[in-house]
Structure 1
Amino acid sequence: MRDRKSERHARTRAEILDAAWETARAEGLAGLTLRDVARRVGMQPPSLYSYFASKDAVYDAMFAQGCREFLEGQARTALTGDALADLKAVARYFIGFCTENPTRYQLLFQRTVPGFEPSAESFAVSEEGLKALRGMLAGIGVTDPEALDLLTALGTGLADQQISNDPGGDRWIRLIDEAMEMYFAHISKRMKAGDAP
C-alpha cells in the first residue's frame, strides 16, 4: 500500500529544497533565511521545522542533493581509455558543472556559509566523486595524492576564474584542454622519473 503521508512529506521537502536554492541564488548562500524559504513555499516559518530541524539541516540537504547531481553527471561522462582525453573530459564535466550553477558550486566546493559543516552522511556522498576521480587517475598509473590535489586545484581554479571574472562566458573554459595537457605532461614526467608511484 502507498504511504500517501510520506509521499506528501517528501514532495513538500523537495519543494522546500527548490525554494532554498532559489533563495540562495537570489540572496547568496549566507543570506538564506528560513523566513524567505517559507514565504516562497507559502507556509509559516515554524512549519518548516516539521521538515528540517534547522537552517543547517536545509544546507545539509542542499549539499547532499548537489553531490548526488554531481555524481549522476560524473557517471555519464564518457571515458575512452585514452588518459589525456579522459582527463580533458573529466575536467570539462567538472568545470561545466561548477559554472552552470555558481551557488551550488559555492556550497559544494567552497566554505561560503560560516559555521556550516555537512553531516557525515552527506559528506560521504561527496567523497564518492573524489573516489571516482582517484580511481580514474590510478587507472593511468597515478596514485600520488599530490597529483590528485594538483588536479583538483586546477579544476577549481579554472572554475573560480570563470565564475568570478567572466560569468556566462568561456574565457577560462577555453583553457581546460591546455591545462590538462600541461598537467598530463607534468605527471608523465614525474612518473618516468619515479617521483610519482
Structure 2
Amino acid sequence: MLGEPKRSRIAERREATRREILDAAWAQAREVGIASITLRDIARAVGMQPPSLYTHFDSKNAVYDAMYAEAWAEYEAHALAQLGSVPEEPRAALHLASKVFFDFAVADLARHQLMNQRTIPGFEPSAEAYAPAVRVLDHGIAFLAAHGVTERADFDIWISLLGGLIDQQLANDPGGDRFARLLGRAIDMFADAVGLSPLPEKRPTRQKAGTRK
C-alpha cells in the first residue's frame, strides 16, 4: 500500500515527460516538416540529452508511432463530436461529414501528412497506433451506408475525392480556400453519381400583404 503513491508519481512524471517530448516533436514537425524531425533537436527542445530520450522512445519511428496514434485519436474524438447530430437528408449529412474531415486535414499539414500520406520512409504504424484509424474507417463506412451509400467502391471514391481536394488545397493554396470552395460542388457530383436525392429547395419567402415590391 505504501509503495503505490510512489509508483503513481513516477508514472505521472514519466507520462509528463513523454507529453513534453511529443509536443516538441509536433512543434518541430510543423516547423521543418514531418519527415525532417530529429531526436537530437527534440531532446534539445525539452532540455534533455539525446541518450536520455531513448528511455522514453527507443527510436524516431517510436516517436512517429505515438504521434500517429495521437493524431487519429484526436480526429476520432473530433468527428464523433461534430457528427453526433447530423441532418436527416443523406446528401446534407454527406456534405457535413466531408467538411469535418476536410477542415481537420487542411488545418495542419504535418499532421495530415503523417495520418494520410506515406511521407516517412520506413515508417509503418504499430497495430496499437493504427487502431484509431481503423475505427475511423469503420465508422466512415457505416456512416455512408446509413445514408444510402453502401458500396465499398463508392466509399473508396469518396475518400479519394476528399484526399485529392485536401492535397490540392495544402499544396497550391495553403491557408486559402481555392479548393475548399470546390468541396460542396464535388460532393454534389459524387452524391449525384451514387443516386442520393437532391436537397429540398428552399421555399420562397412570402411577402406580407400590402408590402410593395
Establish whether residue 133 from structure 1 lines up as the match of residue 140 from structure 2. yes
Superposition pairs for residues 73-84 of structure 1, below 5 Å? 73-78=78-83, 79-84=86-91
Match of 2:199 in 1: none
1:77 Cα deviation after fit? 1.7
Mapping of residues 85-100 of structure 1, within 5 Å? 85-100=92-107
| Secondary structure class of the residue paired with 2:57 | coil
1:171 correspondence with 2:178: yes
Equivalent residue runs for 1:105-124 within 5 Å:
105-124=112-131
Q: Which of 11, 17, 24 does residue 19 from structure 1 map onto?
A: 24
Shift of 1:30: 1.5
Pick the aligned partner of 1:104 from 100, 111, 114.
111
| Distance (Å, rounded) in 2 between the aligned partners of 1:83 and 1:119 | 35
Instruction: Quote the residue 2:57 is aligned against.
Output: 52
Q: Which has the greater radius of gyration?
A: 2
Read off the aligned partner of 2:69 and give its amino acid letter: A
Distance in 1 separating the partners of 2:82 and 2:27: 27
Identity in percent:
45
- Structure holding more helix per residue: 1
CA distance in 2, matches of 1:90, 1:24: 27
Root mean square deviation of aligned Cα: 1.1
2:44 matched residue in structure 1: 39
**Aligned mates of 2:43, 2:148 — CA distance in 1:** 50
Residue identity matched to 1:133: G
1:143 Cα deviation after fit: 2.0
Q: Is the 8 A contact 2:24 2:46 kept in 1?
A: yes
> Which segments of 5 or more consecutive residues in structure 1 lack a partner in the other structure?
190-197
CA distance in 1, matches of 2:105, 2:131: 19
What is the number of equivalent residue pairs in this alignment?
A: 189
Aligned residue number for residue 71 of structure 2:
66
Q: Which amino acid aligns with 1:51?
A: H
Matched AA of 1:187: V
Match of 2:157 in 1: 150
Q: What secondary structure sits across from 1:171 in the alignment? A: coil
Residue 144 of structure 1: how far off its partner (Å): 1.1
C-alpha deviations, 1:85-133, integer Å up to 9, x for none?
1111111111111111010000000000001000011111111111111
Aligned residue type for 2:99: R
